[in-house]
Amino acid sequence: MSTRVLVVDNEFMIGLDVSQRLASAGYEVVGLASSVRKALRLEPTCDVAVLDVNLDGETSEPVARKLRESGKPFIVLTGYSPDNLASSYNHATILTKPHCLDDVLAAVRACIGDDPPQTRNHPQ
């Protein structure tokens, strides 16, 4: 069974790029949420999440808190300085935007202690 990843980003193209990179690496992307409401609805289906901080006037803090309460790791993608983030994001891997998709993939692997998964189309 593949690790299930939730991607939360209000910028559709960024979320799509992250989702496609994770899927091509063998992860199951359970959804791309652009709001806190949708992310909280999808949270029970994921093992790990990639969160943007700013979601069009709201922050992903409620999602970060829920993930933490559920014992699920998450990565934060943000244009903000890590020093200016709320405590909900403490102890998460923080990647600043613009980000490199390989860094996002490496961060997901590291936070779940995963060896690189086999890709679906190109077994090694």
- Judge whether 117 lies within some domain: no
- Judge whether 42 lies within some domain: yes
Q: Per residue of the chain (124 residues), what is the pLDDT tens digit?
A: 689 999 999 999 999 999 999 999 999 999 999 999 999 999 999 999 999 999 988 999 999 999 999 999 999 998 888 888 888 888 898 998 877 888 999 999 998 887 654 433 333 3
Distance CA 94, CA 75 (A): 6
- Judge whether 12 lies within some domain: yes
The count of structural domains within the chain is 1
Q: Domain limits at 36?
A: 4-112
Task: Say which amino acid occupies 18.
Answer: V
Domain CATH number, residue 96:
3.40.50.2300
Q: How far is CA 8 from CA 51, 94, 97, 120, in A?
A: 5, 14, 14, 24
**Strand 28-33 to 4-8 pairing:** parallel
- Judge whether 89 lies within some domain: yes
Residue 117's pLDDT is what? Answer: 44
Q: Helices (H) and strands (E) in the chain — how many of each?
A: 4, 7
Residue 86's pLDDT is what? Answer: 86
